[in-house]
């Protein structure tokens, strides 16, 4: 029997966690959202009294939240493994979709364009931003977009433009637009997870480089996409630049929307890119695959689908689809004076969302192991201290699981033999 003390300890721990996540965190988050709204209101009143010109700017700025593109998008993500064992799952998905032209005004942890240091006075989501924020340090961790000899504290926009110039061999260069119009001819839409309650992890983030249309009747044009991939538990990161002139891609195609759309079809262009896999993401997938991705982006909906195709042994042969995945998310926050409250309502449902993602990933990894899918270590030459340590740690686990699978196989064989004997 389980000791009574253990039972009471388990019940007390469960009650405490329930109190924290169901009562304390939501109430605290709501309180900070109300403070954020009050601070924005007071700041706008002060600006109006200080200067009439500032009043016009403040009333239309993101202090009131009336013209923000930045929002939270909600939907579902799916994964389907086709080979060597069928395995699939679906989970709820929340993405923060951030216009990087707005980011430094919302979070002090994002470096403003052309600035050499962060400015906390610009942070319009404070104090709610103490619980959820975009941080420069969570992206482009390998120093991408920082030329040799350049200062390290470049903004994400500047670094991204440098990276686009580098990976297209200078054929796609937006850097002059930063000097001409401050970069407002283009906007960079970052689809990512923020830091929630002190922790951030992004399996994948997307930077959509969009040329803004001259009027509302024309479609904004996606000129490039940067895909930022992370793995776990190694916590490594790699970046693919998708542009017709990029050295990273194999193929590119754009399909214009057909006339007449339905609820499940987007009236936007579809961008398709194919490229080689060169980064070890899943420890259950080899490196000899090509990616085939499809992207659609609108102001209220984002849809992405991908396939991993195992390269054929012969050049003339066709590849085999080993894995497919995708997500479809829609805007859940509309710009208004209640912008902070809407943010608070959504993040209160999953206050440790990035940690939950890690739990889901490792749970599905355990399911794959139980199905007998082989663990694939880092490719030779790309091992790190972390990958070697993890591989050593996993060996006894694999040994135990092999024994368990062998025992289960024996039991099944014995059951079959018994059935035949009867």
Q: Which residues pair with 294 in a beta bridge?
A: 272, 305
Q: Which of 205, 178, 185, 208 is nearest to 193 (CA)?
A: 205
Whole-number percent of the chain with pLDDT over 90: 39
Q: pLDDT tens digits, residue range 165-210?
A: 999 999 999 998 887 665 567 899 999 999 998 899 999 999 999 9
Write out pLDDT tens, residues 206-263: 999 998 877 666 678 899 999 999 998 888 999 999 999 999 999 999 998 876 655 5
Average pLDDT, the chain: 82
Stretch 360-389: mean pLDDT: 76
Give the separation between CA 214 and CA 244, rounded to whole angstroms: 23
Mean of pLDDT values over 124-142: 91
Q: What is the pTM of this model?
A: 0.84
What residue segments make up the domains of the chain, in order of their start?
66-371
pLDDT (0 to 100) of residue 389: 54
What integer pLDDT is reported at residue 65 of this predicted model?
A: 46
Burial of 368-401, coded b for 16+ CB within 10 Å and e otherwise, reads bbeeebebeebeeeeeeeebeebeeebeeeeeeb
Across residues 378-397, what is the average pLDDT? 56
Q: CA 1 from chain center: how many Å?
A: 46
Closest listed residue to residue 293, CA positions, set 364, 204, 167: 204
H, E, C per residue of 10-55? HHHHHHHHHHHHHHHHHHHHHHHHHHHHHHHHHHHHHHHHHCHHHH
CA distance 100 to 113: 9
CA–CA dist 339, 68 (Å, integer): 9
Q: Name which residue leads in pLDDT, 376 or 336.
A: 376
Does residue 399 register a pLDDT over 70?
A: no
More confident residue, 57 or 115: 115
User: What pLDDT score was predicted for residue 315?
Assistant: 59
């Amino acid at each position: 029997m389980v000791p009574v003390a253990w039972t009471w300890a388990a019940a007390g721990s469960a009650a405490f966690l329930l109190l924290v996540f169901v009562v304390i965190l939501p109430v605290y988050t709501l309180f900070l959202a109300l403070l954020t709204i009050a601070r924005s209101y007071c700041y706008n009143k002060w600006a109006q009294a200080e200067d009439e010109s500032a009043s016009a700017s403040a009333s239309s700025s993101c202090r009131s939240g009336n013209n923000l593109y930045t929002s939270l998008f909600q939907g579902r993500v799916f994964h389907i493994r086709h080979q060597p064992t069928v395995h699939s799952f679906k989970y709820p998905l929340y993405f923060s979709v951030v216009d990087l032209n707005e980011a430094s005004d919302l979070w002090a942890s994002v470096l403003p364009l052309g600035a050499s240091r962060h400015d906390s006075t610009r942070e319009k989501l404070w104090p709610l931003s103490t619980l959820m924020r975009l941080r420069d340090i969570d992206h482009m961790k390998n120093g991408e977009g920082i030329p040799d000899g350049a200062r390290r504290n470049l903004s994400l926009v500047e670094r991204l433009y440098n990276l686009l110039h580098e990976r297209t061999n200078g054929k796609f260069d937006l850097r002059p637009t930063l000097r001409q119009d401050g970069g407002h001819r283009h906007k960079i839409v970052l689809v990512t997870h923020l830091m929630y309650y002190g922790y951030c992890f992004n399996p994948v983030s997307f930077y959509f480089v969009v040329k803004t249309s001259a009027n509302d009747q024309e479609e904004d044009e996606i000129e490039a996409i940067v895909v930022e991939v992370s793995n776990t538990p190694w916590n490594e990161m790699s970046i693919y630049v998708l542009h017709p002139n990029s050295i990273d891609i194999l193929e590119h195609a754009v399909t214009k929307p057909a006339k007449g759309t339905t609820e499940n079809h987007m009236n936007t262009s579809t961008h398709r890119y194919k490229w080689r896999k060169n980064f070890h993401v899943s420890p259950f997938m080899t490196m000899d695959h090509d990616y085939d991705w499809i992207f659609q982006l609108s102001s209220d909906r984002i849809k992405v689908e991908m396939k991993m195709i195992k390269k054929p042994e012969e050049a003339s042969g066709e590849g085999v689809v080993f894995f497919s995945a995708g997500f479809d998310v829609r805007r859940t926050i509309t710009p208004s004076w209640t912008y902070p409250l809407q943010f608070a309502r959504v993040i209160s449902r999953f206050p440790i969302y990035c940690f939950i993602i890690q739990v889901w990933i490792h749970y599905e990894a355990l399911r794959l192991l139980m199905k007998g899918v082989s663990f694939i270590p880092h490719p030779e030459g790309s091992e790190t201290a972390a990958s070697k340590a993890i591989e050593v740690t996993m060996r006894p686990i694999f040994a135990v699981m092999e024994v368990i699978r062998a025992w289960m196989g024996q039991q099944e064989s014995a059951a079959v033999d018994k059935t035949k004997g009867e």
